[in-house]
Amino acid sequence: MSPSARFPMPFATVLALVAVSGSTAAGQLPAEVDESAIQPVTFLKAPEFDEPYPATTAGDDNFVYRLINRLIPEGDRGRPPPCDISDPGPDTANYPNSPLTLPKGRSYIETVPGTYSLAGADGTPATWSWPFMMRTGLTDTCEFRIISQGPTVVDATATSPQQDGFAPLVFDLKVHLWGDKDQLYVPIVGVETFILTGIASKPFQVGTESGVVLLVDHKLPGDWVIEWNAGLYGLGGDGIPDVLSLPDLRVRWAIQKQLTETIAVFYQGFYNGAGIPYFPSDLVSGLGVQWNLGQRLAVYTSYNWSLDGIGSPSGGYSGFAYAY
């Protein structure tokens, strides 16, 4: 019986393909096979996070940028903006948070190592802390933030010993809803939601707590900006919070004037809670300045005082922010 009679035609075709593969492996391609059309199996490999992202701006590529753009892919976004500490600017320079968000994949680290408040006549202890915020744009209108008051020392009082440790971590999401920073009078609006966790040293553990904040900016002629936040937070006791209670309305504000392209001054305040940086008082105002030292680095400082005599009478902070 002939081979073609013993095996059906499809099987004979398979044998022919195997023969072609064998000749290819031996470096003998049939004349009709285009060698340039053959792809190696490595094209199936997933992209590595340490490989340059195709749409990066020269000098601004980093691991976080590559990670975000690979985990949250989009269509052709065009050339991404470079790192810029002035766009949208640090949130820890003054008390209110801006409704503007970082571009996708861009990041800031903000830290305030010099945060101090004096002891109050009502028994409020003096405090020192080192707050920080790490923030990254998940999209052009949404950013993820990790926030903490950081290492904290609360002085002893007549009724309590000194407490020290690490303040709770907060996981935070900020969304820019509408508005453009270059458009006069039209409010820029955003919203911020957060979860305060129990990840903290024992003296400062307060359980899990959530909150939501409305963020608004008003750009005025003459390089003036009015910024305010209003939201629901949990209340704590004296000093660093140690008791949970029902949500409470808190308001923060700032009036800022851009003196030069790199220097701005502001008058700020809050009612019922400073946020980050922390200040143990109920009604506070203060003066501050922010100086952008370059495209990536900004420094800022402020001095603040109580308006109602409750809590700490005064205190200040100094910090910096770095864009990457």
What percent of the chain has pLDDT above 70? 76
Q: Helix, strand, coil: what percent of the chain each, to 5?
A: 10, 40, 45
pLDDT tens-digit profile of 54-82?
A: 554 555 678 888 888 888 887 666 667 88
Could you give the CA distance from residue 82 to residue 85 in angstroms, rounded to a whole number? 10
pLDDT at 99 (0 to 100): 97
pLDDT at 102 (0 to 100): 96
Could you give the CA distance from residue 129 to residue 319 in angstroms, rounded to a whole number? 12
Task: Please name which of 87, 73, 94, 198 lies closest in space to residue 139, comparing C-alpha atoms.
Answer: 73
Residue 21 pLDDT greater than 70, yes or no: no
Its CATH architecture, for the domain 83-323, is Beta Barrel (2.40)
pLDDT at 34 (0 to 100): 56
User: Are the C-beta atoms of residues 171 and 197 closer than 8 Å to each other?
Assistant: yes
Q: State the pTM of this model.
A: 0.78
What's the average model confidence in pLDDT over 274-284?
89
pLDDT at 309 (0 to 100): 86
Query: Average pLDDT, whole number, for the chain?
Result: 82
Task: Please name which of 204, 272, 207, 197 lies closest in space to residue 233, comparing C-alpha atoms.
Answer: 272
Residues 6+ apart with CB under 8 A from 41: none
Residue 140 pLDDT greater than 70, yes or no: yes
Q: Measure Cα distances from 235 to 10, 124, 141, 218 in Å.
A: 77, 16, 29, 28
What's the average model confidence in pLDDT over 20-24?
45
Q: Please report, as a single letter, which amino acid is at residue 257.
A: K
216/37: higher pLDDT: 216
232/260: higher pLDDT: 260
pLDDT at 143 (0 to 100): 97
Helix (H) or strand (E) holding 230: strand 224-234
Backbone angles phi, psi at 140, to 5 degrees: -70, -15
Domain ranges of the chain: 15-80, 83-323
Residue 202 pLDDT greater than 60, yes or no: yes
Q: Measure Cα distances from 174 to 27, 43, 177, 191, 194 in Å.
A: 58, 38, 10, 6, 9
- pLDDT band per the 50, 70, 90 thresholds, residue 303: very high
pLDDT at 101 (0 to 100): 97
- pLDDT band per the 50, 70, 90 thresholds, residue 25: very low
How many helices (H) and strands (E) would you count in the chain? 3, 15
* Lowest-pLDDT range of 29-38, 133-142, 224-233, 283-292: 29-38
pLDDT at 234 (0 to 100): 64
Q: Measure Cα distances from 201 to 242, 244, 274 in Å.
A: 12, 16, 21
What's the average model confidence in pLDDT over 78-94?
89
What percent of the chain has pLDDT above 90? 56
User: Are the C-beta atoms of residues 295 and 109 closer than 8 Å to each other?
Assistant: no
Residue 107 pLDDT greater than 60, yes or no: yes
Could you give the CA distance from residue 299 to residue 321 in angstroms, rounded to a whole number? 7
* Lowest-pLDDT range of 60-69, 119-128, 158-167, 290-299: 60-69
Partnered with residue 45 across adjacent β-strands are: none
pLDDT at 264 (0 to 100): 98
Q: To which residue do tokens 């305030």 refer?
A: 112
Could you give the CA distance from residue 141 to residue 227 in angstroms, rounded to a whole number? 18
pLDDT at 159 (0 to 100): 84
CA dihedral (231, 234, 237, 238) positive or negative:
negative
Could you give the CA distance from residue 45 to residue 228 in angstroms, rounded to a whole number? 49
Q: Could you check whether the bond before residue 113 is cis, i.e. omega within 30 degrees of 0? A: no
- pLDDT band per the 50, 70, 90 thresholds, residue 35: low
- pLDDT band per the 50, 70, 90 thresholds, residue 206: confident
pLDDT at 110 (0 to 100): 98
CB atoms within 10 A of CB 42: 6
Could you give the CA distance from residue 10 to residue 276 in angstroms, rounded to a whole number? 73
* Lowest-pLDDT range of 75-84, 121-130, 146-155, 269-278: 75-84
